[in-house]
Amino acid sequence: MSAPLSGWLILDKPRGMGSTQGVSAVKRVLRQNGYAKTKVGHGGTLDPLAEGVLPIALGEATKLAGRMLDSDKIYAFTVRFGEETDTLDTEGPVIATSDVRPSLAQVAAVLPRFTGPIEQVPPAYSALKVDGQRAYDLARAGETVALKARAVTIHTLAVRPEPVEGLHFSSEAKDGASTSSARTEIGKVTLVAHVSKGTYIRSLARDIAHALGTCGHVTYLRRIKAGPFREEQAISLDNLEQAAKGAGLEHLLLPLEAGLDDIPALHLDQTSAQAVRQGRVLSDMPQSSGLYLAKLGTVPVALMEITEGTAKVVRGFNFPDVAE
């Protein structure tokens, strides 16, 4: 049996699979291919109707999975105009209709209103809790769910020019130029949004449609980046299973520190590393205050917070030392 794995597998989650199901599928692949029992978690829920980047944390990397929840995300999503559903996606029944169809130029013109810090009301069908109960449970029970607006940040928002679900826009149209294609009424549009944590793409699509004098819902949603992880690094479950049967998964595994690409390293000597592993504080540190990845050679030892010259352990890692 192989040794337990630690690091990140970036799963290209298919539509129809829940994030927890994705974790279970990876566990099954590990078990069926002789890997030692390994702790597995995911770095941020992706709705079953969405597809794309789902970071799967293995072993010691599961200690960092919670950090992924706070990271920015990038999504590509298609808004179909003229119908709003109660779930704001294709799963729910239609609750409002409109004959208004915007032009591509009108869509491009309204996007700046939704860029930067904004307030949005989450969908009634969401996992947020209302009086201790999930909003989607209350909504499914037929109760009226009134959620408060929340502050989020939309870093960038633009029309996606590449074909998605049969769509195609010219470079002139995507820039909102006054061309016949830009002025033509459209039934749907695909956008790309770089958003902060807590942003609901379904709410963003609803609000954009309302600002255009119509209504709409999301028909396609793909996460193309989660924190530092990109869709180019993602692998389908089928390919993951084939890799496990062949050369193994080790060559697909990204190291633990791949999830900490924005955090500087703090290099320790053997004595300091031993102290950190015992949970002790390091004093008289010359580094600036902030978060650091403490390492002994190439081995991650701990995530540490330095404050005014004092370094404290935030999260320790249990890796064996390697010869330098």
Q: Taking a C-beta distance cutoff of 8 angstroms, is the pair 300, 257 a contact?
A: yes
Residue 131 catalytic? Answer: no
Q: What angle do CA 234, 62, 292 make, to 5 degrees?
A: 95
Long-range residue pairs from 199-202, CB within 8 A, at least 24 positions apart, any chain: 199/73, 199/120, 199/152, 199/153, 199/154, 200/120, 200/122, 200/123, 200/126, 201/75, 201/77, 202/87, 202/88, 202/89, 202/123
DSSP of 259-315: GGTTS-EEE--HHHHHHHHTTPPB-S--SPSEEEEEEETTEEEEEEEEETTEEEEEE
Catalytic residue among 47, 86, 261, 262: 47
DSSP letter at 64 equals: G
Active site residues: 47
